[in-house]
Amino acid sequence: MKLLRIEKAKAKNKKFSAIFEVDGKEKKINFGDNRYRDFTLMNNPKSKYYEPDVKKRNMVKDRYQKRHRRYLSTANNPKGLGSAALSFYILWSAPTVKGGLAKFRSVYFSSSNK
d(CA 104, CA 114): 14
d(CA 105, CA 111): 10
Helices then strands (H, E): number in the chain? 4, 3
pTM for the model stands at 0.88
List Cβ neighbours of 66 (8 Å cut-off, separation of 6 or more).
none
Please write the tens of the pLDDT for every residue from 57-100: 999 999 999 999 888 875 556 566 789 899 999 999 999 999 99
Q: How is the chain split into domains, by residue range? A: 2-113
Which pLDDT score, from 0 to 100, does residue 107 have? 86
d(CA 90, CA 72): 13
